[in-house]
Structure 1
Amino acid sequence: MDLKLYLQRIGVDSLQPPSLTALRELHYQHLISVPFESLSFHCGERIFLDVEISYEKIVRRRRGGCCYESNGLFLWALQELGYHVVVHAAQINSNFPGLFGPPSHVVLVVKLDGRKWLCDVGFGEGIIFPIPLEDEREEEQNGWTFLMREEEEEWYLDKKVENGWRNIYKFTLTERRFEDFVEMCDYHQSSPSSIIFCKSFCSLPIPRGRVTYIGHRLISTELTAGGGTVKTTRDLTEEEIPEVLRDKFGIVLSRKLVPKDEDPTPPNYDYQHE
């Protein structure tokens, strides 16, 4: 794998030694260049916990990826660049009251200049820049406002919405290996509680908003001056989907996509106490 080709893929001009400025640029450029997507699974392909496969897909084939692919590739790049990175497992808020998914989402924490920074380039509505692990840390990023908070040795990432705060996920600082997520990678491709299984999607942040393809819809979300959002939805025919993926996300699929847009089921309660 060629680090320079990865940097070209995300629009970063040169190799820089570890610094907060360089880390912020890498994180942002990856997010705006590599779509968060589940399209492979809905084209009859498997998603693998293999950084070399993710590199071939994202860098050489100019595709996007799910959390394992994008964060796995970002982990490799940061390590190659000399950053001190630790892998953790987050539980995604299922939006069913009181229920979190299994500890399946890969998040990265970079130790830099005596502080810890949460990095996550593999979540559709998450942070835009690294955010420090500091209790009650509130930060505006690209128009969105995020909050880091700690409760009983668990860290929570919240996002501001019109009626308050919405939790995105939670995690502990138990260190994991990237290889530990093989079972969870399979889970997301077979569980009716997983968005990867239930929806064919592709998403990218745009200035003060986001553009997302799901099933037979294209959704544009724009932030308003008052902190609210305006969503515009366009219904798509199957013939229009390849054109939308190419024009909005730079993705050209080599296999036929089977659009899917089903609601996930509540996660298994056994995972709530992981």
Structure 2
Amino acid sequence: MSWNIDELDLDAYLARVGYDGPRTPTLETLRALHRAHVTAIPFENLDVVLGRGIDLGMNALQDKMVTRGRGGYCHEHNLLFAAALERLGFRLRRHLARVRLGRDYLPRTHATLTVEVDGVRWVADVGFGGQGLVEPIVFAEGATARLGAWRWRLGREGAVWVLHEGDTELYAFTDGEPDLPSDFEVANFYVANSPRSPFIRHVLAQRTTLDARIRIEDFAPAGPAELADILRNKLGIPVTDADAAILHEKLG
């Protein structure tokens, strides 16, 4: 596996996220594209629950999230976003982080990014779901970001950087040895296949707007048809009726 950013259809990606602004590698472009991606492409793990695994190849990522209008989870989102940023001329690093959410012992399976703009680095993450970033945050101890009622802060514990939303620790990572495609492949395999992974046991789906997070937990579909309607029309995730029937059995 390699990053294969040249395989990305950049025009199709920008159309998918609804971005038609400047294509220069500025902070304004980074912020606008980050917001556009987060609000256009849902967070979801449906293929994992359905037992189909996750292919991180660039052609597979853009076929799923750009051509077919689906969402994805952190590896899919942030590798697609990273490819778009690099094609636009940004310099960045891909990192693997430990999700915390009240725990500090989980493996390094979350994908996130740091992006350099005019000599300043920013944490960019379009794929956390939950309480994740909507805009980048400066990669500096004590940095803060806000959007409406949401507040993010970047803390530090020695060599470990910790992203918070409000009082919640979201995830932690180090800025040491670069994480390689092979590292992401291993982490992705664990998340999509290990019986210890929460992603294979629960249906997760979320659409984020600039002032709301709309989650599958907000609804209680009475049957597969209602679930399909919620996924398609509330969360923006196209599903077949057959898949909705299987997913409905695994809700909760």
Q: Same fold (TM over 0.5)?
A: yes
Deviations 1:112-143 (A, max 9, x none): 11211001111112111000011111221242
- Whether the 8 Å contact between 1:156 and 1:170 is mirrored in structure 2 is yes
**Alpha-carbon distance in 2 for matches of 1:27, 1:193:** 31
**Partner SS for 2:233:** helix
Which residue matches 2:182? Answer: 179
Residue identity matched to 1:69: E
Residue correspondence of structure 1 range 57-76 to structure 2 within 5 A: 57-76=64-83
Matched, 1:19 2:26: yes
**Alpha-carbon distance in 2 for matches of 1:236, 1:120:** 34
Which residue matches 2:243? Answer: 256
1:176 offset after TM fit, Å?
1.0
Deviations 1:248-269 (A, max 9, x none): 122222451433346xxxxxxx
Aligned length: 239
Residue identity matched to 2:232: R
Residue identity matched to 2:123: L
**Partner SS for 2:225:** coil
1:239 offset after TM fit, Å?
2.2
Match of 1:205 among 201, 205, 208: 208
TM-score (norm 2): 0.89
Match of 1:156 among 158, 162, 166: 162
Which residue matches 2:61? Answer: 54
Please list every run of 5 or more consecutive structure 2 residues that lacks an aligned counterpart in the other structure: 1-7
Residue identity matched to 1:47: I
- Whether the 8 Å contact between 1:88 and 1:107 is mirrored in structure 2 is yes
Residue identity matched to 1:123: F
**Partner SS for 2:36:** helix
Higher strand share goes to which structure?
1
Match of 1:120 among 121, 125, 130: 125
**Alpha-carbon distance in 2 for matches of 1:152, 1:210:** 32
- Whether the 8 Å contact between 1:72 and 1:178 is mirrored in structure 2 is no
Decide whether aligned partners of structure 1 residues 15 and 207 sit closer, same or farther in structure 2, where only a CA change above 3 A counts: closer
Which residue matches 2:4? Answer: none
TM-score (norm 1): 0.82
**Alpha-carbon distance in 2 for matches of 1:87, 1:250:** 27
- Whether the 8 Å contact between 1:70 and 1:121 is mirrored in structure 2 is yes
- Which range moves more in the overlay, 38-47 or 5-14? 38-47
**Alpha-carbon distance in 2 for matches of 1:44, 1:133:** 36
- Whether the 8 Å contact between 1:49 and 1:182 is mirrored in structure 2 is yes
- Aligned residues with identical type, % of pairs: 31
Matched, 1:3 2:10: yes
Residue identity matched to 2:115: V
1:196 offset after TM fit, Å?
1.4
Q: Which runs of 4+ in 1 moved over 6 A?
A: none
- Whether the 8 Å contact between 1:7 and 1:14 is mirrored in structure 2 is no
- Which range moves more in the overlay, 8-17 or 58-67? 8-17
Which residue matches 1:136? Answer: 142
**Alpha-carbon distance in 1 for matches of 2:88, 2:148:** 26
Deviations 1:55-104 (A, max 9, x none): 110110010011111111001101100000111110001534xx332111
Matched, 1:170 2:172: yes
Which residue matches 1:33? Answer: 40
Residue identity matched to 2:234: K
Residue identity matched to 1:256: D
RMSD of aligned alpha carbons: 1.7
Matched, 1:244 2:230: yes
Decide whether aligned partners of structure 1 residues 94 and 167 sit closer, same or farther in structure 2, where only a CA change above 3 A counts: closer
